[in-house]
Amino acid sequence: MNDRQLFESYQRGLKRERKIVLTWQLTILIAFFTIWEAASRLYWIDPLLFSSPSKVIHLLAVRIGNGSLITHLQITLFETIIGFIIGTIGGVIIATALWSSARFAKVMDPYLVVFNAMPKVALGPILIVALGPGYLSIIAMGFIISVIVTTLVVFSAFNEVDPNYEKVLRSFGATRWQCFREAIFPAAMPAMISTLKVNVGLSWVGVIVGEYLVSKQGLGYLIIYGFQVFDFTLVMASLVIIAILAAIMYKLVEKLERWLIKNRNI
């Protein structure tokens, strides 16, 4: 068997593995909703509290049809994407600043650890008072929850890059910034992509928590409103939408990861 045949066999193996994984994912998803529906209809669970997929789908169809859900969805999605972007970019910038100065990194290390351990939800009321009860405070909550994790992960990735890369570049007269641009940053790219995947979930958490506290619109508001009026179908419908949107964002990050790795290897 020549090299081309080996490569084609390898590609077929990858495609087969992806199909198997996708089949199992769909099977688990269908089984979950099937068991949920059956448990609700047979009163294995309380249908008032946990609702059922059929009720959730009916509610979504009604609210999407009359347009009452679209506004809430757009607002939450906008806030999440903005919080995700600025949290990721801010974390990379701070990590770069820490890497550029060992002294600065040592000074900031205990503060980063303490701030990472601090419950960010406790900062919600302060953000609302400081920034006002609007989009800005909600986006800031998403930013705060994701930026420290991004900073710590990316900074650790910078430090774990083989120091011989920098030594070789230094031997050719490269500056510290040139070493960072040509070796450190590209080598840490996989860790940064992994951080993006984590930030998808963190951004949703931050925005939903912010909407719990202050918003009169958005999916977080719908969840709180559903609890207040005992409309748990609305609560479950909002959670289903959040899960779908988070999964879509995660898949987009995966596509970005494959694109970056492909172009990095060219």
**Domain residue ranges in the chain:** 1-45, 51-264
Specify whether the CB–CB gap between 180 and 72 falls below 8 A.
no
- Interatomic CA distance for residues 265 and 178, integer angstroms: 20
Question: The tokens of 226 are what?
Answer: 């559903």
CA 124 to chain centre: 20
71: which 2 tokens?
């506004």
Q: What is the pLDDT of residue 49?
A: 86
Predicted confidence at residue 126, as pLDDT, reads 81
Q: From the first residue on, what is the mean pLDDT of each consecutive set of 10 residues in the chain (266 residues)?
A: 69 84 92 94 89 92 87 89 89 91 88 84 78 82 86 88 81 82 83 81 85 81 88 91 89 80 62
> Domain 51-264 maps to which CATH number in 3.30.360.10, 3.40.605.10, 1.10.3720.10, 3.20.20.10?
1.10.3720.10
| pLDDT of 100 | 87
Read off φ and ψ for residue 162, nearest 5 degrees: -55, 120
> CA distances (Å), 98 to each of 110, 123, 198, in order?
13, 24, 21
The token pair that represents 165 in the structure block:
């890369």
Read off the pTM: 0.82
